[in-house]
Amino acid sequence: MSSNKYESSELNSILESLFKKNANGVLSLKTQVTSWQHQRSCILILRHGSLVYGDTQVSQIPNNKEFCKMLGDQLKPNLINAALSVASEKITNPTSITELIELLTKMRVFTWEEVEALITTKVILTLEKFLAHPGEAQWQATSDFDLSYGKDRHGLAWSKIQQQLNQRQQKWQSLAPKIPSLDAIPIVTKEQLKQINNSQVKEHLRNLVDGKRAIVDIAEKMGKDPLTVAKSYLNWVNNGWVSFEGTSEAIQAVIEAKAKIKSIQAGIKSPENTAPKMPTAVKTSTSTPQPLDSQADSPGLPIVLSVDDSPIIQTTIKRALKEDYNVLLADKATEALKILNQQPVKLLLLDLTMPDVDGLEFCQTIRKIPKFKNLPIIMVTARDGLVNKMKGHIAGTSKYLTKPFEPEELREVVRQYISN
């Protein structure tokens, strides 16, 4: 069994490499969610170079009866036990999953289309939890899992899975900044609980919101799609019933960021010892904020400033550019403004959604300052619509780069504007 560590941007490449090799086996993934140090694991199973199964609930390959019982519990819970006892006696290969499912489809317990749709959804929800984080992959070649779908015995359509993952990413982005991601941790205080007039919501929050579970973990415990759960939480956030880790800091930062923007527009340089005040609210998280990387490592190289509140994205950007550029990092607009005043930045990589101010608003502000009028500003965002691109153009961005991106794609974009 081979084992390799990978970065968040490399999981797609690992899978596609296995597809090209026409591989049969199990890819076991283990990852660490850096914001709150919670480890996740899953298995992805390939057959003849196609993805056929994925799950976070199991750590080893299920046998044919276990697999069909899982299908039946979700598709036809009233029929599956009786049907399995009959079908198990009729199959010629006692370990074959595909043959057992074929018999159950002939008994009209479920259809191949229902099975494929269910497993596709399970694979998408599994991959969604892992694509944004670095981790460790272990590959074990085996042909014991003979699952395939339909009369032509095909695998799951990878293009369809990628398309749905991209669509879901856009939906997650639409929930930001109130719900930053599926890894966001909801927090509810005693004062907030007192305000809730819905007994079911109050009971749910009491039972499942503990300051440790993320949205994705709560959804998994409920057996629901994390996006569906997140939409409910968005309503509760709007009602003031629940908040998310970092919300109080974001509110405080909005006030301070706008005050600093006005001072810079007036030509007043903020004192170096002026730091954002800590909010009075007590933070329940024990995670350590990523330190601001605001000092140049190699003074001779052109300086690129990346503004993004995702440590994973920041790490990816720094690794992609560090050979040719000095990459400075800021996770909010206030820090970015300070660096821009102190360092000769040659190019700005700017996230559209930041915790203190909107990226487009920040871009417009930068463009109004004479010395930054011609500064290349690359908007880096998960949103990929024409309307957003037009808004970025109006705000003064030089180019639009959509996440996720390959390191070479980023390097090529930066090379268009600056060179050593």
Per-residue pLDDT at 255 = 41
The C-alpha atoms of residue 360 and residue 372 are separated, in whole angstroms, by 15
Q: What phi and psi, each to the nearest 5 degrees, are found at residue 97?
A: -75, -45
What is the rounded average pLDDT of the residues 372-401? 63
Please, where are the H alpha helices in 176-246?
190-195, 199-208, 215-222, 226-238
pLDDT digits (tens, 9 = 90+) for 57-99: 777 889 999 999 999 999 999 999 999 999 999 999 999 999 9
Instruction: Write down the domain spans for the chain.
Output: 2-162, 176-244, 254-415
Q: How confident is the model at residue 282 (pLDDT cuts 50, 70, 90)?
A: very low
Tokens matching residue 257: 């960021």
pLDDT of 208 strictly over 70: yes
Q: Identify which of 401, 246, 383, 403 has the alpha carbon closest to the alpha carbon of residue 313.
A: 403
The stretch 187-192 carries a mean pLDDT of 90
Query: Looking at the predicted structure, is the pLDDT value of residue 279 above 70?
Result: no
Query: Letter for the amino acid at 112?
Result: W
- What's 115-167 look like in SS3? HHHHHHHHHHHHHHHHCCCCEEEEEEECCCCCCCECCCCECCCHHHHHHHHHH
Which pLDDT value is given to residue 356?
58
Neighbours of 118 (CB within 10 A): 15
Bridge pairing between strands 345-351 and 377-381: parallel
Closest by CA position to 133, among listed 261, 310, 384? 310
Residue range 102-133, pLDDT digits in tens: 999 999 999 999 999 999 999 999 999 998 88
State yes or no: pLDDT of 402 exceeds 60.
Answer: yes
Backbone angles phi, psi at 327, to 5 degrees: -105, 115
pLDDT at position 268: 38
Of the listed ranges 68-82, 234-248, 306-320, the one predicted with least confidence: 234-248
pLDDT at 309: 81
Of 265, 406, 399, 290, nearest to 355 (Cα)? Answer: 290
Summary mean pLDDT of the chain: 81
30-66 burial, b if ≥16 CB within 10 A, otherwise e? ebebbbbebebebbbbbbeebbbbbbbeeeebbebbe
Burial (0-12, 13-18, 19+ Cβ within 10 Å), 362? buried
Structure tokens at 238: 């709007």
Whether the pLDDT of residue 300 is over 80: the answer is no
Instruction: Round to whole Å and give the CA distance between 125 and 134.
Output: 17
Q: How far apart are CA 161 and CA 122, in angstroms?
A: 11
DSSP for 341-378, written as a single string: HHS-EEEEEEESB-SSSBHHHHHHHHHHSGGGTT--EE
First to last CA, the chain: 43
User: Residue 326: beta bridge partners?
Assistant: 303
Range of lowest pLDDT (133-147, 381-395, 400-414): 381-395
Find out whether 310 and 173 touch, Cβ atoms under 8 Å. no
Whether the CB-CB separation of 333 and 357 falls below 8 Å is answered with: yes
CA torsion 132-406-53-38 (nearest 10°) is: -20
Identity of the residue numbered 338: K
Residue appearing with tokens 């000095």: 326
pTM of the model: 0.59
CATH hierarchy code of domain 254-415: 3.40.50.2300
Under DSSP, the state recorded for 23 is -
